[in-house]
Amino acid sequence: MAAALHLFPALLLALLSRAPRAGAARRDVLELGDADFSYLASEHETMLVTFYAPWCGHCKKLAPEFEKAAGRLKGSVQLAKVDCTAHSDTCARFGVTGYPTLKIFRFGRDSAPYDGPRTAEGMHQYMRKQTGPDSVHLKTKDDLDEFVNNYEASIVGVFSGESPPLQVFLQAAALLRDQFRFAHVSDLQPVSDYDVPPQCVLLFRPPRLSSMFEDSLVVFRDQLTVSSLRRFIRDHIYGLCPHMTVDNRDRLRVRDLLTTFYDLDYRLNPRGSRYWRNRVLKVASQFKGRGLTFSVANKKDFLSELEEEFGLGTSDGDVPLVTIRTRLGHKFTMREEFTRDGGSLQRFLEDYFSGGLKRYIRSEPVPERNQGAVKVVVAESFDEVVNDPRKDVLIQFFSPSCPNCKRLEPVYTQLAHLLTSDPDIVVAKMNGVENDVPPSYEVQGFPTIYFSPVGKKDEPIQYKGGRELPDLLRFLKRESSHSLSLGGSKEEL
């Protein structure tokens, strides 16, 4: 009791400090801390909390999107933030080790990590699915019509009473509700307009994406398990040509993906959006089952990607742009203008499947002179230099603006000079900002160093040691396919 009384003044002070001043606008994002987190968080059924640090660049980028999402979710989901530099006890209690960390709370209890999009629209869509029941119980035809007439796809379970399959369906809905919309009926009356059996699951694709080229309703009739339902949704949710957005692109790009970019906006321009998609669908239906997924996207949402990753100008008015990105990171662009009869797209696909297309590689020009001790590699010369089967290659991926890269440069150059007389090893570097990095080289920051040994060019080794000369030399001695030659003689390092 004494401890509780001791905490009361601090809690009261914290609450008063958060009360809006007269005439001041009330913010939609709660500011919580050590003194009041448990007390205030427990008042909200669903709450999204960002744990941040004021100096964190990613946190600053997230902040305006978080504020916008808070306004859109007002009344259904509360958004809150905790400054971990001022309230370290709360952040430690919830295992926060990096910034920003986003978590979903239910009545003050840590429910799940938030792993959805970090845009206002993405957070809005994601968190809307976190409210209410895992699966909505539909009782009438009107309930069903209202539920499936939505911008997103709908999964509806059809069951007879409180059957065991319904419990499996509800379990799947609880696990997948952050990705998809679920509802169920407990008798056949709401689905009497559809010729479906009891104990099945219906997948309704979004009405805006309906077309003559595929069914808008797909029926799951197999034995119902969480895994089988998950596979069914994964294989059928997007259909022949889904609408790719910033928020779902990662889920679509797990496969080889062709995307047609144009002025797509189903809310403001539904007719124009359907016009070009129907032309894509017509061609896509001819290449169905050949391992390529099709999609359409709003060009304005992907301007920087089109320009920086594919080298495509984006000021061509209404003319769609077409790209292919494979799971391995290979990129192709359609250079012929998209024709209204779809002929250009068909020719592009025929060339792609026959192996006649040249991959697009974003690359600086190949250096005319490359006489320095550290060899300059660009994307166009990567295979020739780094994948030379006769040589071990140490390659550094750098950014011209990276301070750590600049500090490493003299050490890296000294290493290259020591090894210039060794004909079996190359010390190289590549600008990782201006050139496409091969998929097998995972570069999360700069500088990143890899070693590509003879006989294992498809298994490069990332260097994670110190950045002084002896550290690099010890690594090369251990991993090199031959005894290193320093200054013209074989040496033990």
DSSP 274-332: HHHHHHHHHHHTTSTTSS-EEEEEEGGGGHHHHHHHH-----STT--EEEEE-TT--EE
The catalytic residues are 56, 59, 402, 405
CATH of 136-236, one of 3.20.20.100, 3.40.30.10, 1.10.287.70, 3.40.710.10: 3.40.30.10
In 3D, which of 415, 387, 406 has the Cα closest to residue 475? 415
In 3D, which of 274, 264, 269, 330 has the Cα closest to residue 301? 264
**The pair of three-digit structure tokens given for residue 451, joined into one six-digit string:** 């070693």
Given a cut of 90, is residue 144 above it in pLDDT? yes
Q: How many helices (H) and strands (E) does the chain have?
A: 15, 22
Look at residue 231 in the predicted model and tell me its pLDDT: 94
**Section 473-492 average pLDDT:** 80
Position 200 confidence tier, pLDDT thresholds 50, 70, 90: very high
Query: Could you state, in order of their start, the residue ranges of all structural domains in the chain?
Result: 28-128, 136-236, 249-354, 375-490
Which range has the worst mean pLDDT, 87-91, 112-116, 202-206, 354-358? 112-116
Residues 416, 417, 420, 422: is their CA dihedral positive or negative?
Answer: negative
Give the tens place of pLDDT for each residue, 367-380: 999 999 999 999 99
Look at residue 163 in the predicted model and tell me its pLDDT: 82
Give the tens place of pLDDT for each residue, 104-125: 998 999 988 898 889 998 899 8
Give the length of the chain: 493
For the chain, first and last CA: distance in Å?
Answer: 68
CATH of 375-490, one of 3.40.50.10860, 3.40.190.290, 3.40.30.10, 3.40.50.150: 3.40.30.10
Instruction: Say which CATH architecture domain 28-128 belongs to.
Output: 3-Layer(aba) Sandwich (3.40)
CATH tag, 249-354: 3.40.30.10
| pTM to 2 decimal places | 0.68
Give the tens place of pLDDT for each residue, 149-160: 988 899 999 998
Look at residue 385 in the predicted model and tell me its pLDDT: 96
Give the tens place of pLDDT for each residue, 301-346: 999 889 888 988 766 567 899 999 998 889 999 999 999 999 999 9
